[in-house]
Chains A and B, each alone.
Chain A
Amino acid sequence: MSELLTKSAARNIFYGGSAFFFAIFIGLVAHTHYYARTTSTDESRLTASVINGKHIWEKHACINCHTILGEGAYFAPELGNVWLRYDGDKDPKSAREALKAWMINQPTGIEGRRQMPKFVFTDKELDDLISFLEWSSTIKTNNWPPNKAG
């Protein structure tokens, strides 16, 4: 490497530059935090039921098969927009019933088809979980996914 750059200059550029970029990053994430709470999500609808639904989603490790907003495992369908796929925005009552019926009937046991584990949910837990999926479908995601297939 050229003699123009000494080791101590390289070191100073590394420390100074990293601090500079990290400071910008923190500033932008602070704004992103504010944006997430005020613009991209509706916190007035972030009820105790939705938050409890999120914990149910977590403690059953759903994300290790499904994706939500494109993140997770790629073994089962995207669920960020599952509420819209079930037309929950048009007929919330039917969508809720259909999703419940789907979940309590797992696993299907059909040969050669991917199996969802058997989860034992109370009716309230099912409601909370679906409320979480419903709330997630309202996040402003820069219009991702491209279509209903998720």
Chain B
Amino acid sequence: MKYQTQAIAKWYWIAALALFAVQVLAGLVAGYIYVQPNFLSELLPFNIVRMLHSNALIVWLLLGFFGAAYYIIPEESEHEIHSPAIAYFQLILLLVGTLGAVVTYIFNLFPGNPIFGMQGREFLEQPLWVKLGIIVAALAFLYNVTLTVLAGRKTAITNILLLGLWGIAVFFLFSLYNPGNLVLDKVYWWWVVHLWVEGVWELVMASVLAFIMLKLTGVDREVIEKWLYVIVATALFSGVLGTGHHYYWIGAPYYWTWIGSIFSSLEVIPFFAMVLFTFMMVWKGKRNHPNKAALLWALGCSTLAFFGAGVWGFMHTLHPVNYYSHGTQVTAAHGHLAFFGAYVSLNLAIMTYAFPHIFGVKPYNQVLNMVSFWLLSGAMAFMTFVLTFAGAVQTHLQRVMGMSYMEVQDQLALFYWMRLGAGLAVVIGALLFIYAILGPKKEATGLEGAALQPAE
């Protein structure tokens, strides 16, 4: 660690990992309810468990991104973070908001209250006061990192990272707009959801991967940054109009079926480019970096994102296919591998890279960490396969044959049992990762908080 303020990342990532555990445990409970539907049905109904699962995921990924920004920006800008106090204030604000949202969901506090009650639009369920807190936290964050970047060296990595983080904040503002017309509601809801995960989050992903490649492979910055611009260009050129693939069946004009099909098919390109980029950099790089686990996660990230987001996304994005598969388990399959590959793996990669520097030890618990990679990746792939089979059966029985929803679900029980097994493996993998990162460490470098050279 070259700069003291990079240590801010530590608490962001510890909070992120705690929520990662909450997320996978809630997922396991939800998976169990699928096969034993009476479980907790009165105490903690499925809709609440699912909110915990999806919201914990979103918040921990964002905390991970913030942590990554605090770690990367000082090193790239060659400048300490403008104000560590603001950074910790931002973290506390986010944690209070998260806790507030969780307690509100579980105990259904202030039902129907426009400020304190849950809002119940998918993924945007946070009570209004939490949303406003998130916006204040985002403003504090952007103020803090933007001043840091402006005061220091400007690199393509910080440019793109900052643009992505600004985009996250700007598009989140659309969560405040909730018109009475359901069609308009959905049109702008996607401005948060799609323009995040298939837009500005990809900027964060590409810039963090570029930073990791720069450090692990030692390839020339010029080469890496040119790749970075090409990747993010293909991401936004395809992803912005690719929003159209969500506008097929929600009351938007028919032209979106064409625009959405064409541009969202192209969304596979940036993910393929990231695979080429990471593998070529490793192949060309001469540096033999000791942190093999970080390298594994980085390569795993681009590969699994390509399959989960790229290939599985393409599978059902053309409108003649989507007409039948829309809103089935096919979507669930794609969602799970896309988020795991692109964003979970990205966060775990940068944490695996940076934590040894923050703690001032040599890359530690490498074997455990790599075991957790294979366990998590294998289990997520298995989950994706069985949900894809479930989705194919569901699409045929329900959308082609016209069988009723509940009858079809009974036919899918076997797949849901297999998904539950995969979920259990994911929980074990996640706990193993957390232990590998935060558990006992050996081989101190004696360099905590000091420069770590030459391998960085």
**Which A residues fall within an 8 A CB radius of B?**
1, 5-7, 10-11, 13-14, 17-18, 21-22, 24-25, 28-29, 31-33, 35-37, 39-41, 43, 46, 50-51, 54-55, 57-65, 67-78, 107, 109, 111-115, 117-118, 132, 135-136, 139-142, 144-150
Contacts and interface: CB of A to CB of B under 8 A. Distances in A.
Nearest to A35: B253
A14 B182 contact: no
Contact of B229 (A7, A41, A70, A75): A7
Contact of A58 (B120, B408, B409): B120
Interface in B101-150: 105, 111-112, 117-122, 125
Contact of B183 (A29, A64, A139, A147): A139
Nearest to A41: B183
Contacts of A114: 37, 46, 406, 409
Interface stretch (B70-78, B89-97, B236-244, B298-306): B236-244
B252 A32 contact: yes
10 contacts: A1-B227, A11-B156, A32-B256, A35-B253, A37-B184, A59-B120, A65-B50, A115-B37, A132-B182, A139-B251
B47 A25 contact: no
Given A32-B253, A59-B111, A69-B250, 19 more contacts: A6-B226, A14-B229, A22-B236, A29-B187, A36-B183, A39-B253, A43-B181, A50-B180, A58-B121, A61-B105, A62-B47, A65-B46, A69-B249, A74-B329, A115-B46, A132-B182, A144-B323, A145-B399, A149-B403
B355 interface: no
Nearest to B250: A69
Q: For A46, A54, A59, A60, which residue has the most chain B Cβ atoms within 10 angstroms?
A: A59
Interface residues of B, number: 75
Nearest to A147: B402
B233 interface: yes
Across the A-B interface, the 5 shortest Cβ-Cβ residue pairs: A70-B327, A64-B47, A144-B249, A10-B229, A51-B180
B248 A142 contact: yes
Majority secondary structure, B binding face = helix
Contacts of A41: 181-183, 251
A72 B249 CA distance: 14
B324 interface: yes
A145 B326 CA distance: 9
B47 A61 contact: yes
Given A70-B327, A73-B50, A63 B253 contact: no
B51 interface: yes
Given A117-B47, A149-B402, A25 B241 contact: yes
Interface string B43-77: 00111101100000000000000000000000000
Given A7-B229, A70-B249, A75 B50 contact: yes
B369 interface: no
B346 to A, nearest CB: 20
Contact of B237 (A17, A37, A63): A17
A146 B252 contact: no
Contacts of B227: 1
B48 A142 contact: no
